[in-house]
Amino acid sequence: MPKGIPVATIARLPLYLRALRLLSDRGVKLVSSEDLANSTAVRSTKLRKDLSYLGSYGVRGVGYEVDYLIHQIARVMGLTQDWPVILIGIGNLGQALAGYGGFATRGFKVRALLDSDPMKVGTQIGDQEVQHINQLEKVIGENPNCIAVLAVPENAAQTICDRIVSAGVTSILNFVPTVLQVPDEVEMRKVDLSIELQILAFYEQRKLAQPTELENRA
Amino acid sequence: MPKGIPVATIARLPLYLRALRLLSDRGVKLVSSEDLANSTAVRSTKLRKDLSYLGSYGVRGVGYEVDYLIHQIARVMGLTQDWPVILIGIGNLGQALAGYGGFATRGFKVRALLDSDPMKVGTQIGDQEVQHINQLEKVIGENPNCIAVLAVPENAAQTICDRIVSAGVTSILNFVPTVLQVPDEVEMRKVDLSIELQILAFYEQRKLAQPTELENRA
């Protein structure tokens, strides 16, 4: 696996991958860096730089081979194997995540659903039955290298997070709107819906405070 | 409103705000930059720099006044008013978002739920009835400066997005796993769950390929 790929490049590779898969589905064999850049809202110079980290340079006037580039990116990203996902917290959001199509189609298999609510334990969501949270350590033991998706209530989050880490999980996708402490060797990606909205509110307010050129001219 | 606040600072202000509100709820009146930095996983030098953009410097040996700092950040972020939110697409994810507590508690009011499915139109979620998507332009007209939250199927996303923008919306929170084109003046924040998982898969794979120091020593 190539080393020293910048973090920002890693974050863009899934965008290229998705655009390339759409092209492949439409039977497209070759794509120029300009066209691929346009469909991913990245500058073409940046795209070429990103792909050069994979040892992929394309051919001048011809472009990149779509299926080969898909294979290269998927291999670098670790997506040529299936990753087990353990989903913890089956509230509204957890139920939505359990049914989220984007997981299965990209090589992620939801292997277990866990909740502490006796009303939820034993219910069926998709092809999985919700298990009691006291099965957490057992389930993690049965799914080496699993990714834990955390969608529990805020007040339970750090305790559950500590149990996940103690059981050996090193990758966590966190939906809980609170700051969670994890050791340095644990990778945590955080999704917080209210924070994204707050950032939008800032820009919305700024637009209101500073009328656009069009409005100034009117 | 202060101008020229860096984008990265804007992205951290909601984190400080949440930590400060927790302190305020516990009756804490003063907080040091070190303690606030620790609870938000930011370095204290960076935190002090961020807050200096707000004209807030704290007092050496005393720290920041919690409630005053809350007020300052909320004012800069535009959170001292209620922002109307229009939620489009009431599938699993849309239903989870409609019930997401983090919206209401942070000054966002869900003003309308829209879907094209006749089975969903007319059903009640929380205090809102799902309306037909053909009401989109009317609803946006009735809610000036609203933020649109997009959770529709991929194949409908660009069409709906174009309608939202034509109707005058300039802030969009996008949950659809596809690239959407919007004019430069429209601010779009994107949440894509599979992309975050793909980035985790990269790090998980790298850990497997490069055993940790601990494992090397064992």
pTM over 0.95: no
At B130 the pLDDT is 97
CB A198 within 8 A of CB B83: no
At B213 the pLDDT is 43
Q: How far apart are CA A24 and CA A68, in angstroms?
A: 10
At B101 the pLDDT is 67
Residues of B in contact with A83 (CB under 8 A): 197, 201, 204
Cross-chain Cβ contact A14/B194 below 8 Å: yes
B43 — pLDDT class (breaks 50, 70, 90)? confident
At A1 the pLDDT is 45
Cross-chain Cβ contact A108/B179 below 8 Å: no
Say whether pLDDT at A15 is over 60: yes
Q: What's at A57, amino acid-wise? A: Y
A vs B, Cβ pairs < 8 A, gives 189
Helix H or strand E encompassing B137: helix B136-142
A161 — pLDDT class (breaks 50, 70, 90)? very high
Span A139-166, mean pLDDT?
95
Say whether pLDDT at B164 is over 90: yes
Higher pLDDT, B70 or B15: B70
Sign of CA dihedral A32, A34, A37, A39: negative
| Residue B125 phi, psi dihedral angles, 5° rounding | -130, 115
Cross-chain Cβ contact B79/A198 below 8 Å: yes
Which ipTM value was assigned to this complex?
Answer: 0.77
Distance from CA of B52 to the nearest CA of A (A): 18
Say whether pLDDT at A218 is over 70: no
Hey, is the C-beta of A145 within 8 angstroms of any chain B C-beta?
A: yes
**What residues contact residue B13 under an 8 Å CB cut-off, 6+ apart?**
A198, A202, B50, B73, B76, B77
At B199 the pLDDT is 81
Cross-chain Cβ contact A170/B207 below 8 Å: yes
Instruction: Write A56-60 long-range contacts (CB < 8 A, 24+).
Output: A58/A32, A58/A33
Q: Return the minimum-mean-pLDDT range out of A129-138, A175-184, B209-218.
A: B209-218
Sign of CA dihedral B8, B14, B17, B22: negative
User: What percentage of residues in chain B have a pLDDT greater than 90?
Assistant: 44
What is the set of domains in chain B, with CATH numbers?
7-77 (1.10.10.10), 83-195 (3.40.50.720)
Residue A58's CB is within 10 A of a number of other CB atoms, namely: 19
Within 65-104 of B, beta carbons closer than 8 Å to A belong to: 76-79, 83, 85, 91-93, 95-97, 99-100, 102-103
Higher pLDDT, A32 or A61: A32
User: What percentage of residues in chain A have a pLDDT greater than 70?
Assistant: 93
Hey, is the C-beta of B196 within 8 angstroms of any chain A C-beta?
A: yes
Hey, is the C-beta of B145 within 8 angstroms of any chain A C-beta?
A: yes
Residues of B in contact with A203 (CB under 8 A): 171, 187
Considering only the beta carbons, identify the residue of B14, B196, B201 that sits closest to A77.
Answer: B201
Say whether pLDDT at B206 is over 50: yes
